[in-house]
Amino acid sequence: MNNKNENFMRLDFPSKSCNESFSRAAVAAFASQLDMNIEELADIKTAVSEAVTNSIVHGYRGIKGIIHIECRISGDSITVTVRDEGRGIEDVERAMQPLFTTDRDGERSGMGFTVMQTFMDKLSVDSVYGEGTTVTMTKTIGGEADGDFGEI
Partner 1 sequence: MQINIEIIGNTLVAKLFGELDHHCCDEVRAAVDREIERGRIKNLVFDLDGVSFMDSSGIGVIAGRYKKIKEFGGRTLIIRARPQVDRVLELSGIKKILECG
The catalytic site residues sit at: 50, 54, 108
Chain residues that interact with partner 1, rule: CB under 8 A: 17-18, 20-21, 24, 38-39, 42-43, 45-46, 49-50, 53, 56-57, 106-109, 111-112, 114-115, 118-119
Minimum Å distance from CB 24 to partner 1?
A: 8
Alpha helices in the chain (DSSP H): 19-31, 38-54, 92-95, 112-119
> Distance between CA 147 and CA 121 in Å, rounded?
10
Long-range contacts of 108-111 (CB under 8 A, 24+ apart): 108/57
Which residue number, 5 or 32, has a Cβ lying nearer to partner 1?
Answer: 32
Written as one letter, the residue type at 14 is P
Minimum Å distance from CB 151 to partner 1?
A: 34
> Distance between CA 106 and CA 87 in Å, rounded?
19
Which residue number, 96 or 111, has a Cβ lying nearer to partner 1?
Answer: 111
Which residue number, 99 or 152, has a Cβ lying nearer to partner 1?
Answer: 99
